[in-house]
A and B are shown apart, each in its own frame.
Chain A
């Protein structure tokens, strides 16, 4: 009886096995990389309804973060400013700029501007800005160099492991409380000593329990 399968098929099981290992490795690696918030979320840069430039306002003009995001030190959330806050200046400044159109429209019609949320945590994660500010975590540490962005994009993955890394070892990220809104603050040479002093003075114990964020 003639051979049905040619000789090279003898190696087929081995090849399939080796191929499967490579394919599985690629699959795992692919999911590892492409499904991670690092890949999916960082760089998320939705179009906003107003052509507002942080680069201009926070960078070139040097307006402090707290001027607009005024509740960040007294509430869990840093508010997106009400229309009225824009008009505090723009009642006078650049009134005729076409970019200001949606703001003026909102002011006259009373309909709020629908901004698109960039930094979006899952519903089961409860984040509070206040203790982070008090601890001396800078705005730029999590939000990136907002002062260099025309359109805000997500700079960090905001994943749980990213949060927990800092909660385990906050020392590289702490700065004096007065510097939290300073965008271009850079760690001094004795950063670890500074952080140790800050932690002792402020009694900082970043929670590592699940209940710290999940309720």
Chain B
């Protein structure tokens, strides 16, 4: 039964651009009154919707996507009948016997383990030349959930999607379980390997060692991934001392090489730059995906949100300017965004510096440089940016993207220096000496490959990473590798590189091995294992130690040896133990951050920096190709993680694969549409490489630019990731790792099938996400609430009374939500949400309890975007409950809309009647084929659902119950913050707040009292417990639209 009081929705097919689509103009919106009218926005979710094509209309009218309730193609009627018959007979048999269950206690229990009570340990996830401090929950010795460590500067209590999904990397059933050696003859014919033991490898190395020692290691080489581990750094130095002629190369497909080199151009030595966005009133991003793609994104997002907490109308907020080629989440959060090709970023930075100099900020530009802005940059825009920066000296921040050349990084740093943003306590930018850093270097890799090609390398150790897959194409790493007599590969799985090696050694996952790590600011922490190596793997530290000394030592002892030099009380063994355990407990060594380096005066820009930028004129011919790490799979290392493959990309909402992302106009010029196959080529037609991949059109991307994501098209990732998407590494060259000009894109005529979640559950043009400019909000604080008229209506039936006990509720601040998807993975991990695969996502059967909707507004060439996470709204007057024939979804006394799986018979009436489309149905038994190993990652506190059962967000009811019991046992009332939902806990911007409505001091009440608070579809009278705080944009006065 439809809610009787709902106003008719506005016609969704009203032509775009002719008027507001919101259903009703609220009394406070200012229409007809003396105040200037607020800018009405039209939000659209996809280009099809904007253009209002027949397909999009049909899609919306169907409510669920076509095929959402049909069987997959490969089951015909006959098979179905057979299956049903088999199911019936099996069901009958299974009920005959009571299953016998065993209880298996310890023989000798560990001291501190209480079965049934989870424990939490601090550890660190090493990543490039940084590390992320984590707290990992462990149930009876198996890690199940990853959260951020509040004390750690890189996570501040929040873990990104990738950090949380690392738990699936640990339990990856495709990890290699054995030491493998190339079989001389026979062996396993398929792989060419035979199983060996670790001791066999040690013996084989010992046999070679003498020869290498005699030659000083002349034929020996090590290729390592980037690292900031003090122990690795120490052992690497020892290895080099033992083998002085050894070649060492550090390689990372996506690394911080350019940022370090940029600082070196100015300071004469590489320096690490950390940004504190909380200290900046004005943030300028030059192609930098500060809030999601860059390595310190979690800390950035927290700082960014700190500058946008609008409690009252008198609060101020920071302003974010973004100039970028790809449309990123940072661009979506921008107050002003300008699409610009990555290759023109240098010219833009130069023009910015020149105009700043004209405004009295001495950037140190040598005179007589052509400093005209690229044609795509409106003069008014640049002038407003310059005046904003000049007005916020010492409180602004200019950041260059990771893939920008060193010269742009140098110029950005020079601008920061000139504006007084660098150094000093509380400054937005801090420079530090890199400590214990093995920084990635393309030059080192290139030199190593040259040596390999010249037969100067007889033994190569690959200490992790996957260079055969991700090395620049022009180096032809794979063919050079074939010339090396003995290749030893340490890795988590038998990947592309392992397949070319002579020895493959299973690597211990970071959750299994001892190690250490320094965060980007130098804070040292220990990598503490949560579990014994599942497959007896060894860490890079243990292998390095073998090379450095010739004898084996456990990773634990090697780390303690290093930390004897880091901890102050090392002489006294007892005091050392106390201090070391403090580090393990806290997850870091307090006060170990490197001292800031002062920026001496205003630096004069070296001439070569400026020449480099001036020379980088936009190339006339061809498209620009921009390489970005896969937003979920990064450089390919997470390709076999189902959670990440199925995670919708923040902007394109694409899952399971990559595409050639194009701006609408570029696609139109090339005659390409969504899902068209296209051949992307780079270089001369004869010698160049080409890759075929589908096209996806992204509004707001820079024109004549093709954005492609790395990390897909793996040939040997495992059962999840192999063959998903297209491998674009063959187009990537060592001189142009970030972007390159001269690409071609030709239609192939083939059609591809992209699984994306963009249009599911369209909201029919009603004001779902509400936003205003800062000044508009100040004039009309309650605009969001008043955008729809809520009709008075009496109850139709006896309603619930919510007068006793805690009453749970949630708010989501859209002003700080960056759409980073950390909450989606947190929910998936906490609630055992299954992965359904490409085909099922295409049918709209993704199971995420929490989805992040992304809406565009404005012109398709330069739209504004915003995000809206939508979990179950927990309506007080829930429409789903009224239609369930078996009372499988009912209301609880504390205001939850409970879902009782064992009652559900799968009618799906509830999902049909849910106006928010947050209910998810198990069309199949998605967990049936879960490998045993992967089951270890499940949360034992939550039921694993079976086929035919509806499920949805429960406000993490298992956490509520646990907190209630804990409080009862401690004889105290529940306090605010005792219950944190998984999404709230991990949100990097703390956009999500959860708590008890009846607790006057609860943070959720403070948020609900803010003037921006509104509930979704209030006009339906469902009274959702989840509400939103409207998005506010902060346009520069000179650019604010009338």
Which residues of A does B touch, CB under 8 Å? Answer: 40-41, 44, 46, 71, 74-77, 79-84, 106-107, 110-117, 120, 122-124, 126, 128, 130-131, 134, 203, 205, 207-212, 214-215
Contacts and interface: CB of A to CB of B under 8 A. Distances in A.
Contact of B106 (A76, A82, A205): A82
Nearest to A212: B961
26 contacts: A44-B98, A46-B100, A71-B114, A75-B116, A75-B117, A77-B115, A81-B105, A84-B108, A107-B107, A111-B107, A112-B104, A112-B106, A114-B103, A114-B104, A115-B104, A124-B943, A126-B961, A130-B968, A131-B965, A134-B968, A209-B893, A209-B894, A211-B892, A211-B961, A215-B957, A215-B961
Interface string B21-63: 0000000000000000000000000000000000000000000
Nearest to B831: A215
A20 B233 CA distance: 85
Interface stretch (B615-623, B896-904, B923-931): B896-904
A82 B98 contact: no
A146 to B, nearest CB: 15
B967 to A, nearest CB: 10
A77 B116 contact: yes
Contacts of A211: 892, 896, 898, 954, 957, 960-961
A128 B940 CA distance: 13
Contacts of A81: 105
A74 B113 CA distance: 11
A67 B401 CA distance: 62
Contacts of B101: 116-117, 120
B109 interface: yes
A128 B965 CA distance: 9
A210 B102 contact: no
B149 to A, nearest CB: 25
B805 interface: yes
Interface residues of B, number: 37
The main secondary structure of chain B at its interface with chain A is loop
Given A77-B115, A81-B105, 18 more contacts: A75-B114, A77-B116, A79-B115, A80-B103, A83-B106, A84-B108, A112-B106, A116-B100, A126-B941, A130-B969, A205-B805, A210-B898, A211-B892, A211-B898, A211-B960, A211-B961, A215-B942, A215-B943
A124 B832 CA distance: 13
B415 to A, nearest CB: 53
Contacts of B961: 126, 128, 211-212, 215
Interface string B324-368: 000000000000000000000000000000000000000000000
Given A71-B114, A128-B965, A110 B107 contact: yes
Given A71-B115, A75-B116, A209-B893, A112 B107 contact: yes
A116 B103 CA distance: 6
Given A71-B115, A74-B114, A114 B102 contact: yes
A82 B105 contact: yes
B1022 interface: no
Nearest to B900: A210
A205 B116 CA distance: 24
Candidate in A40, A207, A215 with the most chain B CB atoms within 10 angstroms? A215
Most B CB atoms within 10 A — which of A40, A106, A112?
A: A112
B105 A210 contact: no
A114 B107 CA distance: 11
B857 interface: no
Nearest to A74: B114
A119 to B, nearest CB: 10
Contacts of A84: 106-109
A84 B106 CA distance: 8
Interface in B852-903: 890, 892-894, 896, 898, 900-902
B902 A71 contact: no
Contacts of A122: 902
A131 B968 contact: yes
Contacts of B969: 130-131, 134
Contacts of A80: 103, 105
A189 B531 CA distance: 55
Nearest to B956: A215
Residue among B103, B896, B954, B969 with max Cβ neighbours from chain A (10 Å): B103
B511 to A, nearest CB: 24
A80 to B, nearest CB: 5
Q: 3 nearest interchain CB pairs?
A: A209-B892, A75-B116, A117-B101
Contacts of B954: 211, 215
B1003 interface: no
Instruction: With a 10 A CB-CB cut-off, give which of A41, A46, A203, A210 has the most chain B CB atoms.
Output: A210
Nearest to B104: A112
A80 B115 CA distance: 10
A163 to B, nearest CB: 14
Contacts of A75: 114-117
Given A210-B890, A215-B941, A71 B116 contact: yes
A126 B901 CA distance: 13
Nearest to B108: A84
A82 B107 contact: yes
B958 interface: yes
Given A71-B114, A209-B892, A106 B943 contact: no
Contacts of B896: 209, 211
A110 B957 CA distance: 39
B957 A115 contact: no
A81 B356 CA distance: 74
B941 A210 contact: no
B105 A126 contact: no
B105 A115 contact: yes
A43 to B, nearest CB: 12
A71 B112 CA distance: 12
Given A130-B969, A209-B894, A215-B954, A115 B103 contact: yes
Contacts of B117: 71, 74-76
Nearest to A76: B116
Contacts of A120: 98, 101
A83 B107 contact: yes
A46 B98 CA distance: 11
Nearest to A133: B969
B892 A210 contact: yes
Interface centre among A124, A128, A205, A211 (most CB of B within 10 A): A211
A205 to B, nearest CB: 7
Contact of B103 (A117, A124, A205): A117
A214 B105 contact: no
A214 B901 CA distance: 8
A126 B893 CA distance: 19
A112 B892 contact: no
Nearest to B102: A114
A215 to B, nearest CB: 4
A177 to B, nearest CB: 12
Contacts of B894: 209
Contacts of A116: 100-103
Contacts of A130: 965, 968-969
A83 B107 CA distance: 5
A74 B892 CA distance: 27
Nearest to A107: B107
B117 to A, nearest CB: 5
Nearest to A125: B902
Contacts of A215: 941-943, 954, 957-958, 961
Nearest to A112: B104
A113 B105 contact: yes
Which of B114, B116, B898 has the most C-beta atoms of chain A within 10 angstroms of its own C-beta?
B116
A116 B105 CA distance: 11
B943 A79 contact: no
Contacts of A209: 890, 892-894, 896, 898
A41 B105 CA distance: 24
Given A75-B114, A106-B107, A112-B107, A123 B957 contact: no
Nearest to A110: B107
Contacts of B900: 210, 214
A107 B108 CA distance: 8
